[in-house]
C-alpha cells in the first residue's frame, strides 16, 4: 500500500505525463466500479490512494476511462476536502485560521512556517515530510491559536515553538 501523503515513486514519475502502468491501474479501478452508485467518487478515492493526489493528467485519464466530462471530476474533486490536486506531505500541518485563532496569532504561525520551513498553504517541504493547509475552526477556540498534525492538536501555539513541534514528527 502506498504511504498516504508522501511523495511516492508513482508521484515522482507522474510529473509531466502519466505512466502507462498507472493508466492500466486506473482502467482496472474503473472496471471494478463500473455501474456502482457513486462510481466517480469511488474511483477518485482509489486513484488518490494509488497516486497520493489527483493532478490534472490523472483526472484526464479517469475522464477518458469513465467517459464522463472532466468538468464533473473537477467539480467533485474541488467539492470534497478529502480530495487533493496537489501532493500532500507525510504529515499535513493544519493551521486554524478561524476567527479566534486568526485574532490570537494564526497569521504569525503561517508567517513562521514560511520563514522557517518554506511552507505556504497548499505547499509541501522539499523532502515531502510536511504540507500545509489552513482550516476554519477545529473546535478548540478557547485554546487558540491551534494547529493540528494528524490526530494531535497543538494549543496556544507560539511561532517560537514550531521547530520543536515539527521536529517531533521527523
- Binding string, residues 109-148; x marks residues near ligand FES by CB under 6 A: ----------------------------xxxxx--x-x--
DSSP 80: S
Between vectors from CA 81 to CA 111 and to CA 68, what angle results, nearest 5°? 135
Asked if residue 23 binds ligand FES (CB under 6 A), the reply is no
Stretch that binds ligand FES, among 15-23, 78-86, 98-106, 114-122 (CB under 6 A): 98-106
Q: Which of 59, 62, 76, 96 binds ligand FES (CB under 6 A)?
A: 96
Are the C-beta atoms of residues 113 and 132 closer than 8 Å to each other?
yes
Question: DSSP H helical segments within the chain, as ranges?
Answer: 9-14, 20-33, 39-51, 56-66, 70-79, 99-103, 106-117, 162-167
Residues found near ligand FES in the complex (CB under 6 A): 96, 98-101, 137-141, 144, 146
Amino acid at each position: 500500500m502506498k504511504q498516504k501523503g508522501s511523495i511516492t515513486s508513482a508521484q515522482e514519475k507522474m510529473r509531466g505525463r502519466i505512466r502507462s502502468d498507472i493508466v492500466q491501474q486506473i482502467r482496472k479501478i474503473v472496471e471494478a466500479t463500473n455501474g456502482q452508485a457513486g462510481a466517480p467518487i469511488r474511483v477518485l478515492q482509489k486513484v488518490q490512494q494509488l497516486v497520493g493526489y489527483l493532478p490534472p493528467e490523472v483526472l484526464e485519464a479517469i475522464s477518458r476511462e469513465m467517459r464522463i466530462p472532466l468538468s464533473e471530476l473537477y467539480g467533485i474533486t474541488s467539492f470534497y476536502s478529502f480530495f487533493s490536486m496537489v501532493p500532500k506531505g507525510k504529515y499535513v500541518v493544519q493551521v486554524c485560521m478561524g476567527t479566534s485563532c486568526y485574532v490570537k496569532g494564526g497569521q504569525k504561525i503561517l508567517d513562521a512556517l514560511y520563514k522557517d520551513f518554506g511552507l505556504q498553504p497548499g505547499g509541501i517541504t522539499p523532502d515531502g515530510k510536511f504540507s500545509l493547509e489552513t482550516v476554519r475552526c477545529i473546535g478548540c477556540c478557547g485554546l487558540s491559536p491551534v494547529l493540528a498534525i494528524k490526530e494531535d492538536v497543538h494549543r496556544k501555539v507560539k511561532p517560537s515553538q514550531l521547530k520543536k513541534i515539527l521536529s517531533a514528527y521527523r
